[in-house]
């Protein structure tokens, strides 16, 4: 597409990988949904910070003050990126999983938690206790809204939280977040949005969606690993004991003879015990700023490539795309599929070893969803992003066609840097 030149560029765009023949080819990374490559401008921002980073909040030295400022400015970048309200707190975590576990440990007692069962494990598993209600995902977005309405009407009185994904990491399908939030609001429930898979592809605005919390991972929005975020209403988090304790989370510790007196810090530091990941957070913030400035091109680039990918996949004999809400439903650049009579693991290995195409196979940490959609436990997933080109998409489609026609016969593994059948 002509718009590609204007897009932020990823690091490693010209990476060459070995094939089983020994030849090297440009790597076609079609696994952005697992982790997106770092953007060049994010790398440069990290490079600039490296000589300066030091412990935040505690040091009086100049570098420490620079780091503290960078760290606090990163909260503002995340606020802008997610359309946070003035009273919302921004807690830095390790990733989406960490953010959701933190939220789960911070709920008021007896909070009723409602969610659909096709969620990623990070959103499905952290909630415990008798008041967790897992709803079977229905076949349409409007049925999901109606199902939530019914479930909330029957939920116990008291605090309530609805957990919903922005876009499925299996099918890429976009969930009706604003509609679900409107229903939740009518029943006095709060909403937590798992934006891990939506935020790399579409703008997310807490105010516009009327959701209370959002979580995401830096490594899925084109920053390196190590930093994630939980943004949202401060009150529950402020009232909760920190689930990770140590320096930074404590305002004051006093020796009371047989025990310690501990006064926890206010949010967000209350939930950021230990020396924070200044570099990771800076990278995350830089990535948010860059994505936020380039939505029009990013969305257009991905729409073109997604249409091309799906049209191509439709020509592969026996291939079936996975979908919760039907093939016409809006989705981000994530497509999972199975091929009749073909083992997903063998196909994925051959795509990589014989064609230099990286996809993902398995159940994508969403076992309930994959089991339901495949009648088995494995699928293949191709996911697009800022590093994807037309050639990558075309190579995947051509490779799949030839593998399916010839039969993928070998499993491969990498031994000492080489592919071995």
Give the x/- contact pattern for ligand PMP in 337-366, rule: CB under 6 A.
----------------------------x-
CA 41 to chain centroid, in Å, comes to 21
CB nearer to ligand PMP: pick between 88 and 194: 194
> Distance of CA 146 to CAs 165, 176, 182, Å?
17, 12, 11
196 close to 97: Cβ distance less than 8 angstroms: no
Q: Does 171 engage in binding with ligand PMP (CB under 6 A)?
A: no
Least Cβ distance, residue 206 to ligand PMP (angstroms): 17
Q: Does 95 bind ligand PMP (CB under 6 A)?
A: yes
| Minimal distance, residue 153 CB to ligand PMP, in Å | 27
CA 115 to chain centre: 17
Whichever of 151 and 369 has its CB closer to ligand PMP, that residue is 369
The SS3 assignment for 122 reads: helix
User: Which member of 196, 365, 396, 399 is catalytic?
Assistant: 365
- Can you tell me which of 89, 217, 298, 374 binds ligand PMP, judged by CB under 6 A? 217
Choose the binding region for ligand PMP from 7-15, 39-47, 94-102, 387-395 (rule: CB under 6 A).
94-102
Q: Is residue 11 within 8 Å of 38, Cβ to Cβ?
A: yes
**Binding-site size, ligand PMP (CB under 6 A):** 13
Indicate if 38 belongs to the active site: no
- Report the b/e string of 379-417 with b at 16+ CB within 10 A: bbbbbbbbbbbeebbebbbebbbebbeeebeeebeeeee
Q: Which is nearer to ligand PMP, 159 or 226 (CB)?
A: 226
Q: Please pick, from the candidates 67, 165, 352, 383, the single residue that binds ligand PMP as defined by CB under 6 A.
A: 165
| Cβ pair 352, 19 in contact under 8 A | no
Q: Interface with ligand PMP includes 97 (CB under 6 A)?
A: yes
Stretch that binds ligand PMP, among 118-126, 184-192, 340-348, 367-375 (CB under 6 A): 118-126
Least distance from ligand PMP to the Cβ atom of residue 165, Å = 5
Residue list 259-318, contact with ligand PMP (CB under 6 A) = none
Q: Which residues contact 2 (CB under 8 A, 6 or more apart)?
A: none
Nearer to ligand PMP by C-beta: 95 or 137? 95
Q: Render 193-233 in DSSP notation, one character per residue.
A: EE-TTTTTTS---HHHHT-SEEEEEGGGTTS-TT-EEEEE-
Closest CA to 183 of 147, 214, 213, 159: 147
Q: 172 or 312, CB closer to ligand PMP?
A: 172
Considering the rule CB under 6 A, would residue 38 count as an interface residue with ligand PMP?
no
| Residue 122 touching ligand PMP (CB under 6 A) | yes
Residue the block writes with tokens 């071995």:
420
Least distance between ligand PMP and beta carbon 135 (Å): 17
- Considering the complex, what minimum distance in angstroms separates the CB of residue 307 from ligand PMP? 22
Closest to 97 (Cα-Cα) out of 212, 223, 226, 276: 226
* Contacts of residue 295, Cβ cutoff 8 Å, sequence gap at least 6: 202, 203
Catalytically active residues, by annotation: 365
Q: Report the interface residues with ligand PMP, using CB under 6 A.
A: 95-97, 120, 122-123, 165, 169, 194, 196-197, 217, 365
């Amino acid at each position: 597409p002509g718009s590609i030149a204007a897009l932020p560029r990823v690091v490693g765009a010209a990476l060459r990988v070995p094939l089983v023949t020994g030849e090297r080819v440009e790597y076609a990374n079609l696994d952005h949904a697992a982790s997106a490559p770092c953007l060049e401008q994010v790398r440069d921002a990290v490079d600039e910070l490296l000589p300066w980073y030091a412990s935040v909040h505690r040091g009086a030295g100049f570098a420490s003050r620079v780091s503290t400022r960078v760290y606090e400015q990163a909260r503002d970048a995340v606020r802008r990126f997610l359309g946070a309200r003035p009273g919302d707190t921004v807690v830095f975590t390790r990733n989406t999983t960490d953010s959701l576990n933190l939220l789960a440990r911070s709920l008021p007692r007896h909070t009723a938690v409602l969610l659909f069962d096709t969620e990623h494990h990070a959103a499905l598993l952290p909630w415990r206790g008798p008041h967790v209600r897992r709803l079977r995902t229905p076949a349409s977005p409007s049925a999901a809204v109606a199902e939530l309405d019914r479930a909330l009407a029957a939920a116990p009185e008291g605090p309530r939280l609805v957990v919903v994904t922005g876009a499925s990491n299996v099918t890429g399908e976009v969930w009706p977040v604003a509609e679900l939030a409107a229903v939740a609001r009518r029943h006095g429930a709060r909403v937590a949005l798992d934006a891990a898979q939506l935020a790399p592809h579409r703008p997310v605005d807490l105010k516009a969606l009327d959701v209370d919390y959002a979580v995401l991972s830096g490594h899925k929005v084109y920053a390196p690993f190590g930093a994630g975020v939980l943004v949202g209403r401060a009150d529950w988090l402020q009232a909760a004991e920190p689930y990770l304790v140590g320096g930074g989370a404590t305002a004051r510790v006093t020796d009371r003879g047989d025990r310690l007196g501990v006064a926890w810090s206010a949010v967000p530091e209350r939930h950021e015990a230990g020396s924070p990941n200044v570099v990771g957070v800076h990278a995350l913030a830089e990535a948010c700023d860059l994505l936020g400035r380039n939505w029009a091109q990013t969305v257009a680039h991905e729409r073109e490539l997604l249409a091309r990918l799906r049209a191509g996949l439709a020509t592969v004999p026996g291939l079936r795309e996975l979908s919760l809400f039907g093939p016409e439903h809006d989705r981000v650049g994530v497509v999972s599929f199975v091929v009749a009579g073909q083992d997903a693991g063998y196909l994925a290995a051959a795509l990589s070893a014989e064609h230099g195409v990286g996809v993902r196979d398995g159940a994508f940490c969403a076992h309930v969803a994959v089991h339901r959609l495949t009648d088995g436990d494995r699928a293949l997933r191709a996911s697009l992003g800022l590093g994807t080109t037309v050639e990558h998409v075309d190579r995947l489609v051509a490779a799949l066609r030839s593998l399916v026609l010839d039969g993928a016969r070998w499993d491969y593994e990498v031994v000492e840097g080489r592919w071995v059948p």
